[in-house]
Amino acid sequence: MEKIKLSGLCKLFLVLFLVNYTQGYGQENKNVLQIRGIVKSDSATIPGASVVLVANNKIATVTDNSGSFSLTIPAQSKAIELNISSLGFESKSVKLETGQTDITILLKPGNDAVLNDVVVTALGIKKDKKALAYAVTEVKGSEFTQARENNIANALSGKVAGVNAAGLSTGPGGSSRVTIRGNGSLAGDNQPLYVVNGMPIDNSVPGGAPTVNGITFNVDRGDGIAGINPDDIESISVLKGGTAAALYGSRASNGVILITTKKGRAQKGIGVEYNSTITMENVAVIPDYQ
């Protein structure tokens, strides 16, 4: 094999090229930093999490299937801060120490606020709120446990636009009258259909009007909705109008109130929840006349 001979001038050019390339590569590495890390929760890594440089949100990446990420950022004298977020977890900002290039980030599970735009519609189907052609209002279950009512229907008053709920004067255990967007007809009670976990319930007042010695006494023993514990409610969705309630037929002509109860969830350890409510009233056995 014939050897290639280089002249003295070619050797000089080759040496200058290698020196310039080495200096340029070293200078380029000094101007950037390679940040590597892993994003995880208490139990597992989090794929698809977003990692963004706070100083320049155009520099960003996402974690791979193992929760790892690699981010190349310009070298800077000030502290490097990253913002990490993922659906279902609370967002977190992390500042790196000087010279730190490896990091492990722990995200906490977030609340249901990230799914506020997803509502439960007819037959228990969950849909994006923006994709619905009718009015749906959802109220979280925590709204009904702050100022408690014996009848959960009475607590709808003031929480949903167009819903009028009034408790009758038959005492704390009495039934409730709820109307959506006013009365829809001259006949009937004009009350909505109550659906619990996809199953319509009977909201009529049990029992009849007993007669004693020829005198009829109307007794209000409460309606069907009064038997639901507010602590068991995850959310309540109100479907307004005939279009929203079409899947439930003529019974839903006055609207539908969908109730979704809480379900068991896997967690670490034992979860205990304790609630207590006291209601005190003065019984007018002997009225105080003016």
Contacts by 25-31, CB closer than 8 A, 24 or more apart: 30/75, 31/74, 31/75
Average pLDDT for 189-213 = 77
> Could you tell me the CATH number of the domain that includes residue 87?
2.60.40.4130
**pLDDT averaged over the chain?**
77
Residue 286 lies in a domain: no
Quick one: pLDDT band at residue 289, thresholds 50, 70, 90? Answer: confident
Domain identity same for 222 and 242: yes
Residue 131 lies in a domain: yes
Domain identity same for 121 and 101: no
User: Does 169 score more than 80 pLDDT?
Assistant: no
Beta strands across the sheet bearing 233-239: 136-140, 233-239, 256-261, 193-196, 199-200
CB distance 135 to 181 below 8 Å: no
Rounded distance between C-alpha atoms, residue 165 and residue 162, angstroms:
10
The predicted model scores a pTM of 0.52
pLDDT digits (tens, 9 = 90+) for 26-80: 444 567 788 899 998 887 888 888 899 888 878 889 898 888 999 888 877 677 8
Q: From 274, 235, 234, 239, select the one nearest 256 (Cα to Cα).
A: 239
CB distance 84 to 91 below 8 Å: yes
Rounded distance between C-alpha atoms, residue 22 and residue 19, angstroms:
5
pLDDT at 131: 63
Domain boundary residue among 75, 106, 137? 106
Domain boundary residue among 90, 106, 122? 106
Quick one: pLDDT band at residue 113, thresholds 50, 70, 90? Answer: very low
pLDDT at 26: 43
Range of 142's domain? 112-261
Task: Give me the number of domains the chain comprises.
Answer: 2
Domain identity same for 130 and 165: yes
Rounded distance between C-alpha atoms, residue 227 and residue 224, angstroms:
6
Domain identity same for 235 and 141: yes
pLDDT at 68: 92
pLDDT digits (tens, 9 = 90+) for 133-148: 677 788 888 888 777 7
pLDDT at 84: 92
Residue 122 lies in a domain: yes
